[in-house]
Amino acid sequence: MSNTVLTETVFSTFDTVKYEGPSSEKALAYRWYDANRIVMGKPLKEHLRFAVAYWHSLAMQGGDPFGSSTIPRPWFEAGDPMAQAKVKADAAFELFRVLDLPFFCWHDADIAPAGDTLAATLKNFHTMVDYVEEKMRNYPTKLLWGTANMFSHPRFMAGASTNPDPEVFAWCAATVKNCMDATQRLGGSNYVLWGGREGYETLLNTNMKQELQQMGRFLTLVVDYKHKIGFKGQILVEPKPKEPTAHQYDFDVATVYSFLKQFGLEKEVRVNIEANHALLAGHTFEHEIATATALGFLGSLDINRGDALLGWDTDQFPNDLWSMTMSMYHVIKGGGLTQGGCNFDAKVRRQSFTPEDLIHAHIGGADLCARAFLTAAKLIEDGRYDKILADRYAGWKKPEAAAILEGKYSLDEIAALALKNNIDPKPRSGKQEQIENFLAREIYSDKF
Ligand code: XLS
Ligand code: CA
Ligand code: CA
């Protein structure tokens, strides 16, 4: 079977999905994601910058710890591994065309097969980068980010940059150098590092201090190399608290920030926040976004969800309108995603094995995020919610309180002032239910 036939069988028969509005009866249409709608001065697509994840959409076949693949992906039967990779790329760009989303993301291992040696692996990779570059000339899809898979192969079982074996560290250096080169060549907006096995199973065999030093050195090398090659994208670290290791070093946004501070990298590196990783860390997605914006290092988002009843990384397409609206609210308040985007790091369930299931999944995710963004923008433009918050902190605008924050008083001076003013703080309502009712009316309103 020729490559073209294989690709056509999968996605080419589908029309490009269009925006048809909330009253559309058509299943494969966007109801909320009106890509060109101007919101807060620019098209919705430029705020959200949706990306399709190559791994979950093209490489994942539905295997789980209890069963094998359920999702047929014909490119895996297209001959030798390089032939398979090319057919997979053909199918990928056809999927991007169908979804009409502006970006995609990859790991090196998603786009090219490993060879027998480091040199052979890099050769395959660059051959496929050439191939993808050619595809990008013929399709409008751009690269949101590239990354390296340094967690699947057995050589990474004890970590990547944190491995006790310096040869693994060197392997990772070679891999990331080449992945950064490729990301730059393909015009990527970001380069992501998720520490898949940067953590440990047991402290009994682990020198944590040593491993953190290695990880700090590695990230410093990455930042140095970014400047050396003049890469204009953002370097992003993706926090995750557990899975695959029991204790991941990049636990959550706050942990990543303190790690960056330790190595003087807090102005160089930002975070790629994944919704379900937030949940696994005992936070909400909006908490992690608000933490990153408070610390000034929000980079990009991986838009998926977990299952509160399961507690592992289910990577499902998002469907929680409340949480997504408040997440988008904090994104906008924090200055937006700029070079980042919303990557669907999400996969269909193993029973959803048809190509059409993959299209439904992305439509639902894009519509949810778009609706959430529209409501968040409306909330901000309306101003009533912001006023409730501003009123709550209004006391800090008074000159004496503002001077405290500016560091103009010492502790004993504040104590003397408190006595002089005979202060007598009165409890005030936090208005939680009132705010919840107000937001519910906005979030579930059908007026757009
Ligand atoms: C895994 C991570 C991974 C990163 C990229 O849980 O989400 O997919 O996003 O390596
Ligand atoms: Ca992710
Ligand atoms: Ca994940």
What count of residues does the chain have?
Answer: 448
Residues lining ligand 1, Cβ inside 6 A: 107, 147, 192, 194, 238, 240, 274, 302, 313, 345
Range of the domain at 94: 3-382
181/280 same-domain check: yes
| Residue 427 CA, ligand 3 centroid: distance in Å | 42
Distance CA 366, CA 239 (A): 23
405/296 same-domain check: no
**Residue 58 belongs to a domain:** yes
Distance CA 30, CA 49 (A): 16
Percent of the chain predicted with pLDDT > 90: 96
Residue 8: its pLDDT value, please? Answer: 57
The distance from CA 205 to its chain's CA centroid, rounded to whole angstroms, is 32
| Residue 243 CA, ligand 3 centroid: distance in Å | 9
Of 382, 417, 434, the domain-final residue: 382
324/238 same-domain check: yes
**Residue 371 belongs to a domain:** yes
Distance CA 71, CA 141 (A): 25
pLDDT above 80 for 4: no
Of 343, 365, 382, the domain-final residue: 382
Atom of ligand 1 nearest to the CA of 240: 6
Of 382, 410, 428, the domain-final residue: 382
Residue type, 64: D
**Residue 98 belongs to a domain:** yes
362/430 same-domain check: no
Residue nearest atom 6 of ligand 1, based on CA coordinates: 313
What are the start-end ranges of the H helices in 100-165? 108-111, 118-138
Ligand 1 pocket test, pick from 183, 190, 274, 347 with the greatest ligand atom count within 8 Å of Cβ, gives 274
Query: Domain count of the chain?
Result: 2
pLDDT tens profile 198-242: 999 999 999 999 999 999 999 999 999 999 999 999 999 999 999
415/351 same-domain check: no
**Residue 377 belongs to a domain:** yes
157/63 same-domain check: yes
Residue type, 126: H
Q: Please give the average per-residue pLDDT across 287-295, as a whole number.
A: 98
Residue nearest atom 4 of ligand 1, based on CA coordinates: 194
**Residue 436 belongs to a domain:** yes
pTM of the full structure: 0.96
**Residue 276 belongs to a domain:** yes
Residue 7: its pLDDT value, please? Answer: 55
32/7 same-domain check: yes
Ligand 1 pocket test, pick from 175, 302, 347 with the greatest ligand atom count within 8 Å of Cβ, gives 302
Residue 402, phi then psi, degrees to nearest 5: -60, -40
Q: What is the CATH number of the domain that holds 281?
A: 3.20.20.150
Angle between helices 432-443 and 355-382 (to 10 degrees): 120
Residue 1: its pLDDT value, please? Answer: 41
Q: In the block, which residue shows the tokens 């409890």? A: 427
pLDDT tens profile 250-263: 999 999 999 999 99
State both tokens at 287: 């908490």
**Residue 265 belongs to a domain:** yes
132/233 same-domain check: yes
Ligand 1 pocket test, pick from 60, 106, 147 with the greatest ligand atom count within 8 Å of Cβ, gives 147
179/228 same-domain check: yes
CB atoms within 10 A of CB 45: 20
98/161 same-domain check: yes
Residue type, 46: E
**Residue 448 belongs to a domain:** no
Work out whether strand 50-53 and strand 103-107 pair parallel, antiparallel, or are unpaired.
parallel
Q: In the block, which residue shows the tokens 């669907």? A: 344
338/432 same-domain check: no
Asked if 146 and 105 touch (Cβ cutoff 8 Å), the reply is: yes
225/238 same-domain check: yes
Residue nearest atom 3 of ligand 1, based on CA coordinates: 194
